[in-house]
Structure 1
Amino acid sequence: MNKFLKEVLEGLNAEPKHLHSKYFYDEAGDKLFQQIMASEEYYPTDCEMEIFENQTEQLAKTLKNGFDGFDLVELGAGDATKSSHLLRQLVADKVDFNYFPIDISTNTIKNLEYNLPKEIEGLKIQGFNGEYFEMLEKTRQFSNRRKVVLFLGSNIGNMPVSEAWEFAKTLRQSLSKTDLVLVGIDLKKHPRVVRAAYNDSKGFTKDFNLNLLRRMNKELEANFNIDNFEHYPSYDPLNGSCKSYLISLKKQKVRIGEADFIEFEENEPIFMEISQKYSVSETDEMAKQAGFKPVKHFFDSKNWFLDAVWECN
């Protein structure tokens, strides 16, 4: 049994039912996510991009932190659109650094290693293909220089709070004293703004969630009737938890694979993903409990997004 099928069956046989958001990203899912990020309501990408475009010099100075050289490690580098602003600044400042992008996608790493040195003359790059912490350890074996870790895009918000705190602790344990982390965090704001970002008017987010059912039909021989499910987003402004669900619109039975059947009650939810929002004080507390010292806050002009710099104690 492949891992995708195994985790789908585990999630849909659990109580409550859930699916792993990592499986959103097939070819169709990738395109839909690009459309979500380009939608008028989806603010996190633009807010963090504004920080990297308008505060590049200060970011570079803060991350250099008085040291002559370091390794800049990016967890989940993707296409490096935001971090490329920082890379250009560091190269222009003649900082002695290596760029170590980490990504689960082999293709992503190959593209970065091929394209970035052409776009940023003088950039020293070595990609690492695999899981975050395993590859972070490989960067430490590859080079013993001080590490500066980027974890952008509010990826830490894709975990429940307890998991995010554990992630921060594990990250600290993977680093050494005086190493730095720059983490992108989406902040609490008016509930209407948050809900709209995950329920855009053109329906890209809805299609993004429903596309996972289509993917299961295609890859796992499932027989989901997409019209029998509805996308439902919720946001709790007290705890900052923004969650997405698919709601079964009728009592139904769905086949997955050759022999497995999942029963759904009318109005039964499938939990799809979380996008956790934080206050600034909550991010500082997370850092301190994990063994970091918060040293700098970078905000966009609306104060909707935070790039926080944490130093290893």
Structure 2
Amino acid sequence: MNQFFRDVWQGLHATPKYLQSKYFYDEKGDKLFQQIMKSPEYYLTRCELEIFTTQAERISALICSNLKAFNIVELGAGDGFKSVHLLRKLREQKADFTYYPIDISKNIIMQLSKKLQKEMPGLEVCGLNGEYFAMLEKIKQQSGKNKVVLFLGSSIGNIPFEETASFLRELKARLLPGDLLLTGFDLKKDPAIILKAYNDDAGLTKAFNLNLLKRINDELDADFDPDRFEHCPVYDEQTGACKSFLKSTARQKVRIGEEGWIHFEKDERIFMEISQKYTAGQTDELAAEAGFKPLLHLFDSRKWFLDALWQ
């Protein structure tokens, strides 16, 4: 019984039901997410890309003033199209570094490594496929250099607010004194703008969520009918929690392999993902709670997004 099966079986037997968002990213899920990031409603990517295209020199200068030789470790690297701007600036400054992109998708890591070898010949790239903390331990065993950890794209928002400080403390436990962390935070704004980012007109986010049911069908011999589930995003302005659900449109049961049946009531929901929104002040409080020192706030021109550099 593999880990994917165990996690799905456990999540769908919980009350309320849930699925782990890390399993969105099979080959089809990767492609859909690339499309989501380019959609007109998904402002997060454009905001953070603006920061990296206009302020990469500022970031690289601060990194180089704090560290001599170091490793750039990117958690959830994806296709690296934002971080590549920083990598180029660091190379221009003759920085001594190795780039370690980490991603749960083996397909993405292979694509990124090939792309960087072509675009930046001579760049030392060591792609790692796996869970963040396990891969950080692996890097720690391979190299004693200081690290600059990139956790971009509001990935930290996929962790429930009450668990975020604990995650950051676990991350800090795998770092050395002087290591840096650059984290992307989506900031609170007009709720209509936020909701639209997770419910685009082209239906890409809907397809992205439903694709996980198709993956369960393909890999775990299940019989989900995706047409019998609706994509439902909700946003709580007070808490800053934007959550995605799949809602069963009828009373139904779904078989998973030979293990048995999952029963759904009409309108019963599966919790799929959270995307937490912050204020800039909350990010500083979070840094202090987790034992980091904020060094720099980097905003896009509309102040919709923040990349925070911590030590």
Shift of 1:24: 1.7
TM-score scaled to structure 1, two decimals?
Answer: 0.94
Match of 1:69 in 2: 69
Contact 1:69 1:95 in 2 (8 A): yes
Q: What whole-Å deviation, never above 9, does each CA across 1:23-67 have from its counterpart, x for those lacking one?
A: 222232222222211111001111111111111110111222343
Alignment-derived partner of residue 207 in structure 1: 207
Cα distance, 1:128 vs structure 2: 3.0
Instruction: Give me the whole-angstrom Cα distance separating, in 2, the residues matched to 1:183 and 1:201.
Output: 29
Structure 1 residues 143 and 258, CA, compared in 2 at 3 Å: closer, same or farther? closer
Matched, 1:85 2:85: yes
Paired with 1:96 and 1:28, the residues of 2 have a C-alpha distance of 36
Structure 1: stretches of 5+ with no match in the other structure: none
Q: What residue number does 2:193 align with? A: 193
Does residue 146 (structure 1) correspond to residue 146 (structure 2)? The answer is yes
Instruction: Give 1:188's aligned amino acid.
Output: K
1:65 aligned counterpart, secondary structure: helix
Q: Structure 1 residues 212, 124: closer, same or farther in 2, change over 3 A?
A: closer
Seen in structure 2, the aligned counterparts of structure 1 residues 203 and 55 have a Cα distance that, compared at 3 Å, is same
* Offset at residue 122 of structure 1 (A): 4.0
Kindly indicate whether residue 280 of structure 2 is the aligned counterpart of residue 305 of structure 1.
Answer: no
- Cα drift, residue 196 of structure 1: 0.3
Alignment partner of 1:192: what SS?
helix
Alpha-carbon shift at residue 111 of structure 1 (Å): 3.8
User: Where does residue 280 of structure 1 map in the other structure?
Assistant: 280
Q: After the TM superposition, which segments of 4 or more aligned residues of structure 1 sit over 6 Å from their partners? A: none
- Report the Cα offset of residue 280 of structure 1: 0.8
More deviation, 261-270/99-108: 99-108
TM-aligned CA deviation for residue 178 of structure 1: 1.5
Q: Contact (CA 8 Å) 2:27, 2:107: kept in 1 or not?
A: no
State the 1:104 CA deviation: 2.9
1:128 alignment partner in structure 2: 128
Match of 1:5 in 2: 5
* Of 95-104 and 262-271, the range deviating more from structure 2: 95-104
Corresponding residue number in structure 1 for 2:179: 179
Secondary structure of the equivalent of 2:246? strand
1:279-299 CA-partner distances (Å, limit 9, x unpaired):
111111111111101110001
Query: Structure 1 residues 96 and 31 mapped into 2: Cα distance closer, same or farther (>3 Å)?
Result: closer
Mapped pair 1:34 → 2:40: no
The worse-fitting range, judged by mean Cα deviation, of 116-125 and 229-238 is 116-125
Are residue 270 (structure 1) and residue 270 (structure 2) matched? Answer: yes
Q: Identity over aligned residues, as a percent? A: 57
Aligned to 1:164: 164
Structure 1 residues 257-300: Cα deviation after superposition (integer angstroms, max 9, x where no partner): 13411111111111111111111111111111111011100011
- Counterpart of 1:20 in structure 2 is 20
TM-score by length of 2: 0.94
Q: 1:122 to 1:280 in 2, by over 3 A?
A: same
Whether the aligned pair in 1 keeps the contact of 2:22 and 2:104 (CA below 8 Å) is no
What is the alpha-carbon distance in structure 2 between the residues aligned to residue 201 and residue 229 of structure 1? 18
Question: Any idea what SS the aligned residue of 1:254 has?
Answer: strand
Distance 1:226 1:146, change over 3 A: closer
Contact 1:91 1:122 in 2 (8 A): no
1:178-217 C-alpha deviation (Å, 9 max, x unpaired):
2111011111111000000001111111121122222222
Change (3 A) 1:8 1:140: closer
Distance in 1 separating the partners of 2:301 and 2:283? 19
Deviations 1:77-126 (A, max 9, x none): 22211111111111111122222222333444444444323312442333
Q: Does 1:56 align with 2:56?
A: yes
User: Any stretches of 5+ residues in structure 2 without a counterpart?
Assistant: none
Match of 1:105 in 2: 105
Moved more, 103-112 or 209-218: 103-112
Distance 1:301 1:29 in 2: 30
How far apart, CA to CA, are the structure 1 residues paired with 2:245 and 2:80?
30
Provide the C-alpha distance between the structure 2 equivalents of 1:68 and 1:223, rounded to a whole number of angstroms: 54
Higher mean C-alpha displacement, 111-120 vs 288-297: 111-120
Aligned to 1:232: 232
Q: Aligned equivalents of 1:26 and 1:106: distance in 2?
A: 9
- SS of alignment partner, residue 292 of structure 1: coil
